[in-house]
Amino acid sequence: MTTSVRRMSVVAPDEASLAALRRQPPHITVGQALASGPYMLLLPLPPGWDVLSWETVSPELLLQSELPHGTPLYAPAYSPTAPAPDLTKRPGPDGTAEPPREQPAPEEPVYRHPQPRELHEDQSTVLAYGRDIAQVASLLRARLSVLVVAEKPVVPHLWREMASRAGLRAEVLEEPPEGEDGDPQEQPPPGEQLIPVQQNPRQRLLARLRELVRALNDDTVLVVQHLDLLAGGSDGQLSPEAREVTELLHGAPERVMLAFAAPSLSVPEVLAERFSTRVTITGVPRTVWFRDDQEEQPLGRALVTVGEAERFERYDPIEFYKHVAGMNPVLLRQAMRYAVSVHKDHPAPVARDLYATIRAFKAQMSSNFEVPDVGFDDIAGYDEVKAHIQRAIDIVMGHHRLPPEHDHLRTKLIPRGFIFHGPPGTGKTLFAKAIANRMNATILVVSGPEVMGTYVGESERNVREIFSEARRNAPSVVVFDEFDSIASRRSEHSDGGTRAGNAVVAQILTEMDGFRPEVPTLVIGTTNRLNLIDEALLRPSRFESIAIDLPNDEARLKMINLHAAKFGIDVGGGVDELIASALRGRNGDDIHSVFRDAFVAAHFQDPPVPPTPEQLGQIVGQLQRKRREQRRSGRR
């Protein structure tokens, strides 16, 4: 018989308290376990749970420092000073001990729509975007043309449902079958042979578009699935095809049209003005709306099948959302099928395995994003910086725990990004990777100069594509290395290079202002020259600047021990303190190079040189001499 999993979130003040709770014997009661330390709960303890056996619940153990500031906490519903009842020795009918009787678990919400057993991509798209489909259908019924900005995989499922709900017959712009022409050709004079004119696919589509526009009536809607591919570009450089499409669509202003464009591709404004309304559909919503009875369900219940949810122990449909917020429904269903396939032979996968697999799937689907392998434990020192960053991560990943009355504050609480500034080699990019790891996010590291393009508008398009891909891979972290090369102060000079730089800064500002709080995305810039960054980006509501300076004495000592352990080199007996003193004023990269060179000398040099204190001292001395020579050559 399958029993429902009893979940509870227990908050402890420190790691020692968490470890003590993990060591509790399974036969004690929940009340006894919670009374063993200064524990609090994220939600009130349901009635009767304090007498349940500890092994019958599935506690989520959290550190209080990991919670957003101001998170409400609840004391267990009993007095910790009162003796807990020993229910393990309750007498049975024959006088022998009887296991404690479990109280019924609190009832889960009752949904009229059961969790699906099978779910296809078209069904998931219609469910996820029910509100948007209803909005577009109402606009079409009012004989208003609509331009929908949505990702390509969902477009075929969207237009069919939108046209159907609007009660209109869809005339879809598609390339005519081979052997058919859009426009009838004139018959040649008697005795002369007709020479067919070869047309490329775009010309055939334009011919088909002319035919459809002429045939439109009051009961039909023209559907253009790929308006961006047919007539994309900017107003300043309209292609011949874009000009013809613009003339055709503006030539029939009374006809209803439904067109689609991808978020990463631009449509000329003169063409977009043909449509009365523009609707943007991205990511997936937190809740799914069933229009027949106005019911709402969590996304993790409506778009995840029964078998998928039961496959992963401790699966939580509410927690599920923040790991897939940026994905479209088609990609989400593919990710779930992939996760089930990966773990089909695992004995007991848990929800954390599911989220890790989804993150790996997103990284594999993108040629740019990757799964970071650096954590805060890999960065020694900088405790204040870590604490400051952790508070921001708590807000980004935990804002959904805010009570409903604070919904209007979500966009004001979530930081848009950071600028890490400081000398070279201090680990600014490592901090960015550690942030992505803590967020269970994918990461993209972009070199600033790579963004700049040769042609007009190319740089802005590169920025749009980067942010669009980041939203699809959310939770995600985008790192702009050498940020000052693309975000320098804007100038009023009229030269082309300055205009391009101004446009890139403006595009970054536009993209950051359009962030959705429910799609966790952080932007991080790293620079050695903070004074060059445009002031508009340094506002607290956009980028928060954090200094990553040279390590102090304590941090330097921690770095030495961290790298020594990584390379298996003994620095006991005060050797670490001697090296720390000799490397005063050096960055983390210099410290890493000392132990890297010692490891190479011990394993790859012939004859090998063991990493003795004398050998380490020689390597440190060589590093110091090299730095002095670099400074002298720089002065020359």
**Order of strands across the sheet with 40-41?**
40-41, 6-12, 57-63
> Residue 206, Cα to own-chain centre: how many angstroms?
38
Given a contact cutoff of 8 angstroms between Cβ atoms, the answer to whether 257 and 302 are in contact is no
64 vs 16: CA distance, rounded Å: 12
Q: What is the pLDDT of residues 560-600, one digit of tens each?
A: 888 888 888 888 888 888 888 888 888 888 888 888 888 88
Q: What is the pLDDT of residues 12-56, one digit of tens each?
A: 887 778 778 877 877 788 888 888 888 888 777 777 777 777 877
497 vs 481: CA distance, rounded Å: 20
pLDDT of residue 55: 75
Give the DSSP H or E segment for 72: none
The fold adopted by the segment(s) 121-179+200-280 is: Rossmann fold (3.40.50)
In 3-state terms, what secondary structure has residue 427? coil
Please determine, for residue 130, whether its predicted confidence score (pLDDT) is greater than 80.
yes
Query: 127 — phi, psi (to 5°)?
Result: -65, -50
pLDDT of residue 260: 95
Mean pLDDT of the 78-97 span: 40
Q: Is the pTM of this model over 0.75?
A: no
Which parts of 399-479 fold into alpha helices (H)?
410-413, 428-438, 448-451, 458-472
Structure tokens at 235: 């107003």
430 vs 386: CA distance, rounded Å: 12
Reported as a pLDDT band with limits 50, 70 and 90, residue 95 is: very low
329 vs 507: CA distance, rounded Å: 28
* Distant-in-sequence contacts of 315-324, Cβ < 8 A, 24+ apart: 315/351, 315/354, 316/7, 316/351, 318/400, 319/351, 320/351, 321/284, 321/286, 321/400, 321/518, 322/397, 322/400, 322/475, 322/520, 323/355, 323/358, 323/359, 323/440, 323/475, 324/284, 324/299, 324/358
> Could you give the C-alpha distances from 220 to 177, 199, 468, in angstroms and in order?
22, 28, 33
Who contacts 25 (Cβ-Cβ below 8 Å, separation ≥6)? Answer: 54
Q: In this structure, is the dihedral angle defined by the CA atoms of residues 159, 161, 162 and 163, taken in order, positive or negative?
A: positive
Q: What is the 3-state secondary structure (H, E, C) of 13-28?
A: CCHHHHHHHHCCCCCC
597 vs 622: CA distance, rounded Å: 11
* Distant-in-sequence contacts of 338-344, Cβ < 8 A, 24+ apart: 339/308, 339/312, 340/307, 340/308, 340/311, 343/311, 343/312
pLDDT of residue 106: 45
Q: Name the β-bridge partners of 445.
A: 479
Query: 356 — phi, psi (to 5°)?
Result: -65, -40
Q: In this structure, is the dihedral angle defined by the CA atoms of residues 38, 44, 48 and 53, taken in order, positive or negative?
A: negative
Please give the full DSSP string across 360-412, using - where no structure is assigned: HHHHHH-SS-B-----GGGS-S-HHHHHHHHHHHHHHHHGGGS-GGGGGGHHH
Top mean-pLDDT range of 213-222, 396-405, 541-550, 601-610: 213-222
| Arch. (CATH architecture) of 376-547 | 3-Layer(aba) Sandwich (3.40)
Give the number of other CB atoms < 10 A from CB of residue 229: 15
pLDDT of residue 171: 93
Please determine, for residue 91, whether its predicted confidence score (pLDDT) is greater than 70.
no
In 3-state terms, what secondary structure has residue 285? coil
Please determine, for residue 167, whether its predicted confidence score (pLDDT) is greater than 80.
yes
Q: What is the pLDDT of residues 417-432, one digit of tens each?
A: 888 888 888 888 888 8
Q: In this structure, is the dihedral angle defined by the CA atoms of residues 89, 90, 95 and 101, taken in order, positive or negative?
A: negative
**pLDDT above 70: percentage of residues in the chain:** 80
